[in-house]
Structures are given as C-alpha cells and as structure tokens.
Amino acid sequence: MAVNIAGLSLAAWVDLVGSLAACLTTASFIPQALHSFKTRDVSGVSLGMYSVFTVGVALWLVYGLLLGAWPIVLANAITLVLALAILVMKLRYGSSPA
C-alpha cells in the first residue's frame, strides 16, 4: 500500500524535505559570507572550524557525485563555494578587521 500524505507520495515528501534542508543549510552561509566580504571582519570566524567544515563539505560533494545524487551535489557545491570564500577571507584578513 502506497503512503500518500496531502496528495504526495512518501518519496515526494522525502525529496521535498531533503530539498528544503539543502536550501536552508546552503542559504545559512550567505549572511556570513556577505558580512565578511563587506567588512573584512572575520575575527569571529574560527579557522579550525571552517577548515574542518570545508573539508567535510568537499567530501559530501564527492559522495553526492559518486552516488549521482544531484540535490546533494548542488547543495554542497554551493556551500563549498561559500565556505571557501569565508575560509579564504579568514586566511587573508586574519583576526582583525581591515
């Protein structure tokens, strides 16, 4: 028996939840990236955390590519660009604003 909730199949709900999670997670980096770019202030950014996080996102991207899971690939490709931008600014500007 197929599960149907509000006219959508369970598979459609799974895709919807996954897509929403990917969009929100990816979008969460935009404010920090914009703030860091505008102010050059990365003093509140942890170099260790962003380094490890960026490697983790890169691995998620590889995982998505290996699975052929394009929602995972797209979300993590965008997140990787944003995380790398913040990490590069942290390395370039250090702990104090310009």
pLDDT tens-place string over residues 34-93: 998 899 899 889 999 999 999 999 999 999 999 998 889 999 999 999 999 999 999 998
Check pLDDT > 60 for residue 22: yes
- Identify the pLDDT of residue 12: 85
CA–CA separation, 98 and 51 (whole Å):
22
- Each domain of the chain, given as residue ranges in start order, spans 4-93
- Identify the pLDDT of residue 27: 92
CA–CA separation, 52 and 19 (whole Å):
24
Query: Sign of the CA dihedral 22, 87, 59, 65?
Result: positive
Confidence band (pLDDT; 50, 70, 90) for 96? Answer: low
Query: Sign of the CA dihedral 58, 62, 67, 68?
Result: positive
Tell me which fold the domain 4-93 belongs to: Monooxygenase (1.20.1280)
